[in-house]
């Protein structure tokens, strides 16, 4: 096997014209809008057109608590889709759209890797079909309307100190995290401290991901809270008369995007909200559409099962009625060793020697984290299959340890996956295991009912999911929780904003922390998205560029082709 | 004739599938990338493919000094294209892409009007094919790289006080005109005063408009100056290692976009730089491509002939080798009356009664402005045809006055145009006049040679184009002109940043001001675009929203269609 970069593999691949791919799943030329030869948007009327069709099986791919390098969840999602294809199943994956800012920072692309990729990967990682730009435009129009409202006499009597609506940009720009706007004299408005976040951190992105159609999108946009008036009542995008224009800006972005895997399965990419301050899932519309087009839909939820999968269940499934048939928990040997107490993985540095050395005992110890993730999935009544994203240096003894521990913890089956090197052929066993699990099925249930109070919900999460003993609320959080209950927001589900590097709130606590106090320092509302997000730590919502960003190496070559991207 | 809005006319129109339109001008499916059914990007290889074909005729549409309501230049450009079609000519128009921010402010769309429109107009005025978003992303990546460079030890020794590179956004947001970035502690960089401008004001937009291919785009991006180091030397995008990534971000945006007129002629829309701090033209690539595809190409230059047309000649034609065969000067009776000393037109208020009243004498007096514009066009050796954009309330006596005065001032012919109400049928006479003028031809020459000094060039413009007696330089401008000459930038053409509401620097001076001093308060460089821009007044490069912005009325209806747009 000669080593080729992801970009080389993707550029050398002969894609199927997207009209042909669409036709293969029953979509006519009227059902799609082409964006070049290999990308298309799917019209929302398709849901109505195919409403009598039975829905396929839904599989959510999640992970153990990841290292900062990630567990290969997207890779597994795509590889599993390709593996299902290899065993003769009609399968598709649904993915979040990666954002462009990080491409020029330290991050690689987010289109899988090796021989388990979706293509065209350059387009996917750059502007794609413009959806993230549309989200940014809608968000920033509302921000401009808010400041214009203050400038034109503040008719909504907004208390400047309560403004929570930021501006957004899809560029890693730390200098914009904390700014003062409105300087330069009275013609420029009122000076006030303000912030920029990454576009993917916008509530508009979460709204896009949770909306079930254009009218629902429009209504949700109207409910977005930008701040409070001097009487303490929320001021919304509807109050500012901005929600209609925002919906118009998003009228194409609301349509899911169709691309393909390297092995020709459909991949629907749509929306990409953050997985800490938001719920980190591709759109409800993407899943719904895919379920009508194929028999097996593989989707992905951000970070570990304590974070992304929990939100997949308690937010996305709660709001949409989507019901997963199977959960796949992905892990790597290196992360389980790290949870087992060996070494620490730091991005941009070589793997420490102790993590490279064979150590089945450390792997076994780290499998407590895997077992906890399986336990969380079982709270929802969904069968679990484990995937070990196998690297060349992993030994048989280490991999066997995980397979044994996974089944001991209640997984129906566990499988090594070599999709990076082999594509779908490296995920055939996993695919068979997933098909069995789907056939066995489960009895879906939510972790908590809407009726619990905010604090009760947080405590269910803290004890059962994060394995804490108790919850401590800072005074600000206490006060805001009480106010949110008064405002009638207590029925909303909780979207915990916490680190993804630990089951707990503390990124230094590996494996399965216990006997600790889970802290809530603040709580905020995304009323358009329909959740509350307590903050269990400082969440960075605008990345910065490192001293040698990826941008330094990206250029066009003498023939005008892209080089240095990934 | 029943009155219909531009949006109603556009929505009711049955467009030709863009693949069919492309085929009609010799473009195969391999030559274009579809963006939905009615928009496409044209591959740059088309220029090579058709290089042996003779080029068509190029017509530049300009205007008298406009009122704040505009003279209907885009309308005339599209109407003339349709009119050429009516008399059996193969014609196309090339237009700037309108930006999205102003759509939600006070401005209508920029796709012509009535029965002289290009479609799909909703798309054109919203995201279109994403080019403006790409320009913004490239611009803001460079800004982030600049601030990241300061944060990571300032290896280029940039003097913070000399930074001229802003950030941009395609939203009318006055609160961003003057900001402080980098607050919130050392992890967020160095606090410094900074600015946001409209994306169309970005030098990247001017670069896109002037580049003749992807490699030239790449080189121009590298030359962009972001500020100076502490030794007084310019620091460029190449120094910051950002130009390659910027080119990659722009790799699709560099391809011109194909849409259509209401009467089925091709329209190539590409790039849209400001017409004061930049040169205000659609791209060189758009014109070059159109000239290989049809026999008559009608393009438009921003504002009056003293501003947009002068820059069309002395910047765009100078750099590209493009040579116009004819200039069309557009005017309205209401603007000539205003120049003739009657009334004042204020946007958002009804036209004053004295402008609505018949007044051929005032029109005749205002024709001095028209005569001056004809004189400017003749400096370049190009024949002139005059178009009177006729309104229902204009009387025959008034229109006849303009036709007579235009010919007296040297126009080859002059024609009333009723394209708004009648489409191409309302521009048939104009089309015939333009064809005659093109056949007669001229002897193209530039207004000044590259070799003149910066001050000599400014003085040629001031005396011959702006009709001033002399030029006064403020000390800052004196100092910077001397420094720019030292840096070898003296050979660049001048892109004057001045008001469009007067031939002079003062928007209150109507008709043909004379005997005055033209002031230069500052001068800046767009080294990537390849021009210097002296400032003859304060240029607002970021609009604001009014108290009742257009956004208030824009929404989706119960069927999910756009309403309230224009």
ipTM above 0.90, yes or no: yes
Backbone φ, ψ for residue B490 (5° rounding): -65, -20
Residue A515 has pLDDT above 90, yes or no: yes
Helix (H) or strand (E) holding A387: strand A384-389
Q: Point out the residue among B41, B140, B171 whose CB comes nearest to the CB of A140.
A: B171
**Residue A85 annotated in ligand binding:** no
Distance from CA of B263 to the nearest CA of A (A): 24
State in Å, rounded, how far the first CA of chain A is from the last one.
20
Q: What is the pLDDT of residues A307-316, one digit of tens each?
A: 999 999 999 9
Q: Point out the residue among A127, A169, A243 whose CB comes nearest to the CB of B140.
A: A169
Domain that holds residue A190: 131-249
Q: Which of B249, B278, B306 is the last residue of a domain?
A: B249
> Can you list the residues of chain B whose pLDDT is less than 50?
1
Is A137 close to B171, i.e. CB distance below 8 A? yes
Q: Point out the residue among B33, B151, B175 whose CB comes nearest to the CB of A181.
A: B175
Distance from CA of B141 to the nearest CA of A (A): 6
- Tell me the mean pLDDT in the region A412-418: 98
Mutation for A interface: B48, B141, B238, most A CBs within 10 A = B141
Assigned domain for B545 exists: no
Distance from CA of B4 to the nearest CA of A (A): 21
| Cβ contact B169:A199 at 8 Å | no
In this structure, are B340 and B424 located in the same domain?
Answer: yes
Is B174 close to A558, i.e. CB distance below 8 A? no
Global pTM?
Answer: 0.96
- B188 neighbourhood in chain A, CB within 8 Å: 174-175, 177-178
**Tokens representing B167?**
């950030």
Q: Point out the residue among B127, B247, B544 whose CB comes nearest to the CB of A133.
A: B127
Is B551 close to A242, i.e. CB distance below 8 A? yes
- Tell me the mean pLDDT in the region A381-409: 97
Q: How many domains does chain B have?
A: 3
- Tell me the mean pLDDT in the region A408-435: 97
Is A127 close to B241, i.e. CB distance below 8 A? no
* Nearest C-alpha neighbor of B414 from the set B377, B440, B385, B381: B385
Q: Point out the residue among A100, A174, A241 whose CB comes nearest to the CB of B552.
A: A241
Cα→Cα distances B496→A313, B308, B518, Å:
60, 10, 11
CA angle at residue B260 from B254 to B263, to 5 degrees?
160
- Helices vs. strands in chain B: H and E counts, helices first: 20, 24
Distance from CA of B229 to the nearest CA of A (A): 19
pLDDT for the residue A109: 62
Task: Give one DSSP letter per residue of A154-222, joined into a string.
Answer: -TT-B-GGG----EEESS--GGGSSEEES-SSGGG---EEE-EEEGGGSHHHHHHHH-SSHHHHHHHHH
Q: What is the CATH number of the domain that holds A194?
A: 3.30.1510.10
In this structure, are A321 and A185 located in the same domain?
Answer: no
Distance from CA of B56 to the nearest CA of A (A): 28
Which residue pairs from A236-243 have beta carbons closer than 8 angstroms and sit at least 24 positions apart in sequence? Answer: A236/A527, A237/A142, A237/A528, A239/A156, A240/A142, A240/A145, A240/A146, A240/A149, A240/A156, A241/A145, A241/B551, A241/B552, A242/A141, A242/A142, A242/A145, A242/B551, A243/A218, A243/B555
In this structure, are B276 and B355 located in the same domain?
Answer: yes
Is B174 close to A148, i.e. CB distance below 8 A? yes
In this structure, are A298 and A436 located in the same domain?
Answer: yes
In this structure, are A304 and A419 located in the same domain?
Answer: yes
3-state helix/strand/coil string of B472-529: EECHHHHHHHHHHHHCCHHHCCECCECCCCCCCCCCCCCCCCCCCEEEECEEEEECCC
Assigned domain for B449 exists: no
Q: Point out the residue among B193, B214, B245 whose CB comes nearest to the CB of A560.
A: B214
Collapsing DSSP states into helix, strand and coil, what is residue A318?
Answer: helix
Closest chain B residue by Cα to residue A560:
B214
Distance from CA of A381 to the nearest CA of B (A): 38
Q: How far is A255 from A44, CA to CA, in rounded Å?
A: 6
In this structure, are B100 and B192 located in the same domain?
Answer: no
- Tell me the mean pLDDT in the region A503-520: 96
Closest chain B residue by Cα to residue A149:
B547
- A189 neighbourhood in chain B, CB within 8 Å: 174-175, 544
Mutation for A interface: B30, B156, B218, B551, most A CBs within 10 A = B551
Is B127 close to A562, i.e. CB distance below 8 A? no
Q: Are strands B57-63 and B266-269 parallel, antiparallel or unpaired?
A: unpaired
pLDDT for the residue B1: 47
Residue A103 has pLDDT above 60, yes or no: yes
Residue A441 has pLDDT above 90, yes or no: no
Q: Point out the residue among A133, A134, A189 whose CB comes nearest to the CB of B174.
A: A189
Q: Point out the residue among A174, A553, A556 whose CB comes nearest to the CB of B218.
A: A556
The binding site of B consists of 67-74
Q: How far is A291 from B118, CA to CA, in rounded Å?
A: 39
Chain centroid offset of residue B119 CA = 19
Q: Which of B440, B464, B494 is the last residue of a domain?
A: B440
Task: Specify the DSSP class assigned to residue A380.
Answer: T
List of residues 6+ apart from B449 with CB closer than 8 A: none
pLDDT for the residue A69: 87
Assigned domain for A28 exists: yes
Q: How far is B207 from B216, CA to CA, in rounded Å?
A: 9
In this structure, are A459 and A322 located in the same domain?
Answer: no
| Cβ contact A384:A411 at 8 Å | yes
- A181 neighbourhood in chain B, CB within 8 Å: 175-176, 179
In this structure, are B303 and B434 located in the same domain?
Answer: yes
Q: What is the CATH number of the domain that holds B494?
A: 3.10.410.10
List of residues 6+ apart from B211 with CB closer than 8 A: B217, B220, B254, B283, B284, B285
Is B251 close to A556, i.e. CB distance below 8 A? yes
pLDDT for the residue A565: 80
Residue A197's pLDDT band (boundaries 50, 70, 90)?
A: very high
* Nearest C-alpha neighbor of B326 from the set B401, B433, B212, B423: B433
pLDDT for the residue B264: 97
Assigned domain for A546 exists: no
Provide the 10 A C-beta neighbour count for residue B105: 18
Residue A132 has pLDDT above 80, yes or no: yes
Q: What is the CATH number of the domain that holds B281?
A: 3.40.50.300
Distance from CA of B347 to the nearest CA of A (A): 18
Residue A70 has pLDDT above 70, yes or no: yes
- Tell me the mean pLDDT in the region A126-138: 97
In this structure, are B30 and B62 located in the same domain?
Answer: yes
Assigned domain for A383 exists: yes
Q: How far is A122 from A39, CA to CA, in rounded Å?
A: 12
CA angle at residue B119 from B89 to B270, to 5 degrees?
80
Is A175 close to B184, i.e. CB distance below 8 A? no
- B556 neighbourhood in chain A, CB within 8 Å: 214-215, 218, 244, 247-248, 251
In this structure, are A136 and A37 located in the same domain?
Answer: no
* Nearest C-alpha neighbor of B174 from the set A565, A548, A190: A190
Assigned domain for A551 exists: no
Helix axes A131-151, A203-210, angle to 10 degrees: 130
Assigned domain for A316 exists: yes
Distance from CA of A373 to the nearest CA of B (A): 34
Collapsing DSSP states into helix, strand and coil, what is residue A111?
Answer: coil
In this structure, are A50 and A61 located in the same domain?
Answer: yes
Cα→Cα distances A67→A245, A336, A343, A540, B166, Å:
41, 9, 11, 18, 37
Provide the 10 A C-beta neighbour count for residue A84: 31
Assigned domain for B522 exists: yes
Q: Are strands A192-194 and A116-119 parallel, antiparallel or unpaired?
A: unpaired
Mutation for B interface: A36, A103, A144, most B CBs within 10 A = A144
In this structure, are B275 and B416 located in the same domain?
Answer: yes
**Residue A519 annotated in ligand binding:** no
Closest chain B residue by Cα to residue A181:
B179
Q: How far is B194 from B147, CA to CA, in rounded Å?
A: 11
- A241 neighbourhood in chain B, CB within 8 Å: 551-552
- Tell me the mean pLDDT in the region A231-245: 97
Q: Point out the residue among A35, A130, A545 whose CB comes nearest to the CB of B148.
A: A545
Q: Which of A409, A440, A471 is the last residue of a domain?
A: A440
Backbone φ, ψ for residue B561 (5° rounding): -85, 160
**Residue A74 annotated in ligand binding:** yes
pLDDT for the residue A345: 85
Is B137 close to A127, i.e. CB distance below 8 A? yes
């Amino acid at each position: 096997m000669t080593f080729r970069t992801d970009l080389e593999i993707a550029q050398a691949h002969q894609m199927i014209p997207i009209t042909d791919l669409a036709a293969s799943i029953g979509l006519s030329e009227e059902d799609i809008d082409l964006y070049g030869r290999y990308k298309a948007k799917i019209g929302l009327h398709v849901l109505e057109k195919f409403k009598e069709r039975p829905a396929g099986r839904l599989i959510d791919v999640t992970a153990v608590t990841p290292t900062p390098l990630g567990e290969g969840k997207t890779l597994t999602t795509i590889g599993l889709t390709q593996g299902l294809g290899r065993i003769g199943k009609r399968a598709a994956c649904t993915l979040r759209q990666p954002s462009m800012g990080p491409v020029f920072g330290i991050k690689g692309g987010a289109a899988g890797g090796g021989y388990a990729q979706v293509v065209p990967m350059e387009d996917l990682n750059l502007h794609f079909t413009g959806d993230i730009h549309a989200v940014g435009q809608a968000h920033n129009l509302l921000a401009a309307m808010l400041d214009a409202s203050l400038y034109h006499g503040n008719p909504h009597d907004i208390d400047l100190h309560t403004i929570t609506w930021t501006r957004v940009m899809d560029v890693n720009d730390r200098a914009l995290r904390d700014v003062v706007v409105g300087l330069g004299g009275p013609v420029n408005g009122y000076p006030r401290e303000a912030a920029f976040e990454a576009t993917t951190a916008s509530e508009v992105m979460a709204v896009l991901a949770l909306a079930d159609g254009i009218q629902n999108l429009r209504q949700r946009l109207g409910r977005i809270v930008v701040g409070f008036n001097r009487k303490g009542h929320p001021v919304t995008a509807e109050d500012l008369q901005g929600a209609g224009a925002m919906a118009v800006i998003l009228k194409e972005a609301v349509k899911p995007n169709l691309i393909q895997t390297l092995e020709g399965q459909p991949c629907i990419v749509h929306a990409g909200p953050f997985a800490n301050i938001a719920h980190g899932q591709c759109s409800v519309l993407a899943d719904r559409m895919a379920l009508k087009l194929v028999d097996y839909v593989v989707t992905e939820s951000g970070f570990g099962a304590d974070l992304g999968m929990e939100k997949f269940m308690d937010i996305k499934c709660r709001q949409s009625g989507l019901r997963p048939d199977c959960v796949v928990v992905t892990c790597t040997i290196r992360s389980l060793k790290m949870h087992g107490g060996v070494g620490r993985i730091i991005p941009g540095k070589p793997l420490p020697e102790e993590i490279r050395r064979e150590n089945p005992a450390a792997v076994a110890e780290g499998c407590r984290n895997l077992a906890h993730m399986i336990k969380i999935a079982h709270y929802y009544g969904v069968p679990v299959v484990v995937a070990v994203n196998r690297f060349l240096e992993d030994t048989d003894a280490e991999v066997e340890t995980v397979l044994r521990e996974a089944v001991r913890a209640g997984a129906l089956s566990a499988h090594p996956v070599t999709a990076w090197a082999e594509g779908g052929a490296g995920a055939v066993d996993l695919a068979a295991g997933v098909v069995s699990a789907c056939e066995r099925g489960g009895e879906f249930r939510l972790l908590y009912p809407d009726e619990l109070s905010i604090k009760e919900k947080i405590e269910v999460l803290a004890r059962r999911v994060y394995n804490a003993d108790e919850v401590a609320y800072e005074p600000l959080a206490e006060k805001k929780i009480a106010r949110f209950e008064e405002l009638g927001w207590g029925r909303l589900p909780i979207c915990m904003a916490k680190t993804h590097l630990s089951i707990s709130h503390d990124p230094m606590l590996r494996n399965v922390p216990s006997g600790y106090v889970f802290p809530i320092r603040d709580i905020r509302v995304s009323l358009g998205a329909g959740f509350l997000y307590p903050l269990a730590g400082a969440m960075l919502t605008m990345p910065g560029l490192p001293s040698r960003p990826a941008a330094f190496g990206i250029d066009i070559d003498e023939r005008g082709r892209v080089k240095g991207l990934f």
